[in-house]
Structure 1
Amino acid sequence: MRHLIRACYAGATGYSYAKKAEDVAREHGIDRIARLASNENPCPPSPAALEAAAAALREGNRYPDERASVLVEALRRYHGDYRFVTGAGMDGVIETVIRTVVEPGEAVVVSTPTFSFYGIAATAHGARVVSVPRREDFSVDPAAFIEASRGAKLAFLCSPNNPTGNSVPIETVEEILDGVEGLLFLDNAYVDFSDIDYRPLMRRHENLILGRTMSKIFALAGFRVGYAFVPAWLEPFYLRAATPFALNSVSIAAAAGALADPDRVQRTRDHVRRWRRRFIEEIPFAAYPSDANFVMIDVAPHTGDEAVDHLAAQGVLVRSCTSFPGLGDHYIRVSIGEDWENERFLEAAKNL
């Protein structure tokens, strides 16, 4: 029955996941693994989020609000009077945007190296992925991006970028917005760890989507809550294309609760910035400046896979960047974790 499988999946590997901490612990006989591979927030969710989630469990026999109104209102209180849509993680928002605007066979433009799911999701919807390589320093060439986007309805740009960690200047994003003919999806999953604010661009451009997530600075990765700032004209069409009840009641409540605890957000931001500086200063390899909650490191002459295996044997789980399109095989990405995790990584890195 294999002939029934679509050609794009018959030979493809799909999304590449980091190793599991449990597997590494079992393989090397280590009880406590430093989990620095998945850009997770090392802090538990806000007590306000957990209390709201627990209360929502009592009504688990009912379908959730299809518009996630409680969350949307919380987002407006937190960010201001913008239009918001939600999805099951940023991945769900990405898929719904593609489903809303892209016909099979049409081009979707992606700035690379970057998060591989843009291409995976576009391919899943029958689109043709056009990759636009970044410069040698991983900055974006706006002219090349605009040229590649001619005739395309949708383009993806990540800032701060995963896995390189650098941000795209607001002026560059605005130049791209003025030059492209379709929508620009600007993935801001890590923007809360930076000093850059793209939100004012929403007031000036009707072809901008700002993708956000509750997984990172709000520590709700397990709840799978994504959202996006969208232009008013796009909102009703997105809602038509969206999967019914994509967000469950518990996730909606937890996300709204987390948004009501800004002090916890600031503590997380301060923690990440402090350790980000230490990583860049103390790692005995070339570490790239980062605006995110991770740092990309060039471990040459080792490969990324070799470095991951070596560090795993010392109880530290990091991410090899070999699966990121357009990036060499000698990089790793290391998340900012708890203090003890970060200290263990710095010690293990000295032994590479």
Structure 2
Amino acid sequence: MKHLIREVFLEEGYVFATRAADIAREAGHTRPARLASNENPFPPSPKAVKAATDVLPNANRYPDETNREFIAALKKRHGDYRFVASVGMDGIIDTVIRTFITDGDPVAVATPTYSYYGLAVRAQGGATVSVPRKEDFSVDPASFCRDAAGTKLAFLCTPNNPTGTTETTETVAQICENYEGILFLDCAYIEFDGTDYRPLMKKFDNLIIGRTMSKAYSLAGLRVGYAFVPAWYEPFYNRAATPFTLNMVSQAAGAAALRDTVHVKTIVSVVQEWRQRFIDECPFPVVPGGANFVMVDVAPRTAEDVVTELAQKGVIVRSCASFPGLPDHYIRVSIGEPWENEAFITAIGEIYQP
């Protein structure tokens, strides 16, 4: 019955860093340093854990379909914006694409970047138009608008995965002013950088800012995503969304995590400190960035060779070879627990050959 499957799903899907984990395991490492998935190594706020536990006895009921408590916490944290929520950033991305894209519609994507945009667009029947970044991996607004002309929707990730590069508010504003479609600004890692794009929501009605609780707020396992949306777009998003997308545990934990500002500030501070140490102490060149990871240029070595050697030493990192538009000599290294970070610094120094 395989012939009944849509052609797009016969292709390879999202690429996980499982091969490196297998190599580490085969080398005898029962507790490797896991620095491949951009996870937050620190547990959630105790307030979030308590809130999640408190609602579990009510799990026999459907959650609030309007995400009322979570949306209220978002407004208290960010201000009087319009918000939508879903199962992780990916759920937001899927629903946004669903509202705009139909068979054959082109969608612009600033590349190299997060591969899921292309997968989600193709799943909806659309086609991606690659908008190349500059040599330093930043985006030129004029080139972006020129290459994205004629598309309904465009994706721009900042800080970008996997490069870590962050766009200025001026760059984003110029794109919004000159692009006739909807710009989806993926800010999954923005807490680690601090650039504030929120005021742009008051100026432009073609801007959507996606965020997640998976990174700075340590809730990756609960899959809590949300987005700032224009008022005109909110009802259309809600019509396209899957019913009851955010479960009651995720809603409660997300709302409580937003209220614990001290906890997240502490985590961000630790990540920024280690990110700078990676930049200063890694013998290979590190691309300057603002995320909870760094991208390292291991040329003339290949990414796969370095990933394999590091895995054999018990350090799991991500090869960037699967990111369209990147040559095969970049690796991505997440900020982990202190012992994991020290393990990476030691291991990368051992394999460096000037």
TM-score class normalised by the smaller sequence: over 0.9
Q: Residue 165 of structure 1 corresponds to which residue in structure 2?
A: 164
With structure 1 as the length reference, what TM-score do the two structures score? 0.98
- What corresponds to 1:3 in structure 2? 3
**1:183-216 Cα deviation digits (max 9, x unpaired):** 0000000110013100000000000000000000
CA contact (8 A) 1:8 1:123 kept: yes
Larger mean CA deviation between 18-27 and 85-94 belongs to 18-27
C-alpha separation between the residues in 2 aligned to 1:251 and 1:150? 38
1:200 and 2:191 aligned: no
State the match for 2:243 in structure 1.
244
Query: 2:12 corresponds to which residue?
Result: 13
Secondary structure of the residue that 2:195 maps to in structure 1?
coil
SS of the residue corresponding to residue 218 of structure 1 reads: coil
Tell me the distance in 2 between the aligned counterparts of 1:119 and 1:66.
29
In 1, the alpha carbon distance for the partners of 2:279 and 2:53 equals 40
1:140 is the counterpart of 2:127: no
Deviations, residues 46-91 of structure 1 (Å, cap 9, x unaligned): 1000000001111000001111111000100111110000010000
Q: Is the 8 A contact 1:21 1:33 kept in 2?
A: no
In 1, Cα distance between the equivalents of 2:226 and 2:244?
A: 14
SS in 1 for 2:39: coil
Q: Does the 8 A contact of 2:321 with 2:327 survive in 1?
A: yes
1:326 — aligned with what? 325
Deviation of 1:26 (Å): 2.8
For 1:21 and 1:14, locate their aligned partners in 2 and report how far apart those are by CA, in whole Å.
18
Secondary structure of 1:263's counterpart equals helix
Compute the RMSD of aligned alpha carbons: 1.1
1:76 matched to 2:75: yes
Does residue 317 (structure 1) correspond to residue 316 (structure 2)? The answer is yes
Q: What residue ranges of structure 1 are gaps of 5+ in the alignment?
A: none
1:39 is the counterpart of 2:42:
no
After TM superposition, give the deviation of residue 147 of structure 1 in Å: 1.2
Q: Structure 1, residues 89-144: CA drift from partner, whole Å, max 9, x if none?
A: 00000000000111221111000000000110000000011011101111112112
1:63 is paired with a residue of what secondary structure?
Answer: coil
- For the residue of structure 1 that corresponds to 2:262, the secondary structure is helix
Cα distance, 1:18 vs. partner?
A: 1.4
1:215 aligned residue: 214
Alpha-carbon distance in structure 2 between the residues aligned to 1:227 and 1:18: 26
Instruction: State the partner residue of 2:174.
Output: 175
Secondary structure of 1:50 counterpart? helix
Shift of 1:351: 1.4
CA offset at residue 8 of structure 1?
1.7
Matched, 1:126 2:125: yes
Larger displacement relative to structure 2 (267-276 or 1-10): 1-10
Aligned pairs, number = 351
Partner Cα distance (1:266, 1:43) in 2: 12
Percent of aligned pairs sharing the same letter: 59
Whole-angstrom distance in 1 between the partners of 2:329 and 2:23: 21
Q: Per-residue CA shift, 1:131-172, capped at 9, x if unaligned?
A: 111011111121121012222111000000001011011111
- After TM superposition, which residue ranges in structure 1, 4 or more long, deviate above 6 angstroms? none
**Displacement of 1:20:** 7.2
TM-score calculated relative to the size of structure 2: 0.97
Deviation at 1:330, TM superposition (A): 0.5
Which residue of the partner structure matches residue 96 of structure 1? 95
CA contact (8 A) 1:39 1:293 kept: yes
1:112 corresponds to which letter in structure 2? T
Is this contact kept in 2: 1:19–1:317, CA < 8 A? no
* Deviating more after overlay: 131-140 vs 15-24: 15-24
Q: Deviation of residue 21 (structure 1)? A: 7.9
Identify the residue that residue 337 of structure 1 maps to in structure 2: 336
Q: Quick check: 2:21–2:316 contact (8 Å CA) kept in 1?
A: no
Give the distance between the partners of 2:334 and 2:19, measured in 1 at CA: 15
